[in-house]
Amino acid sequence: MITTTAFPIQLLVLEDDPGLQSFLHTLLQSQGYQSMIQAEGQQGFALLKNHSFDLILLDLGLADMDGIEWLQQLRSWSEVPVIVISARGKEQDKVRALDSGANDYVTKPFSSAELLARVRATLRQQQKTAKPLAFADIKLDPVQRIVTKAGEQVHLTKTEYDILLLLVRHLGSALTHNQILQQVWGEHYQDRPEYIRVHMAQLRQKLEDNPSAPRHLKTEAGVGYRLCE
């Protein structure tokens, strides 16, 4: 049994074979992981809009699209780690997947022990690179997705957290509405600044000492938003 962080580790599994779906669900559950399983890439994107995942297991032969295409679309707006699990064992398939943004590649058939070892290794690497982030008296832990203000935990929705994390990672830089929309909502969301406006107002209420005159979450008129120290 694994030792988890304060929250169960969440995995998204994109696999269209019912037998393998059942096997993976049982295997991951036995190790304390929580998983959501879908057979179609578009269903996977829909889940990513509303849920936070620590890792994705991706079959290249999805029911509705090619897995490489799905991975390339994902990498245009998300850095969530991906392990490809595929029957395609040729070197060029592995190279193409890794060049498209996969973190690892496991060829079917694989053993339970090998897959779990790859999952643990990828999660360890993610935790090493995900350093706590901070500005003013606000701190973010990108591993546990916890936000604190002056040492007190602040509850943010998934969308609020994703916007804040994006701004923190670009501290001092102005991000356009479309940059935020594509990174948080996905590439199909453009020219909809009202989507962001409501969440920014909520973030200011939760994080700013004076939400009506924000010190940190600044509006760049006609452009987007900027996070300042």
Kindly report, residue by residue over 138-191, the tens digit of the pLDDT.
999 876 788 999 999 999 999 999 999 989 988 888 888 888 888 888 767 777
**Mean per-residue pLDDT, 132-139:** 89
Looking at residue 130, its pLDDT comes to 63
Give me the domains of the chain, ranges plus CATH numbers.
Answer: 10-129 (3.40.50.2300), 133-227 (1.10.10.10)
* Mean pLDDT for all residues in the chain: 89
Confidence of residue 6 (pLDDT cuts 50, 70, 90): very low
226: β partners: 174, 218
Looking at residue 86, its pLDDT comes to 94
Tokens standing for 145? 């997705």
Looking at residue 3, its pLDDT comes to 37
Distance CA 213, CA 210 (A): 5
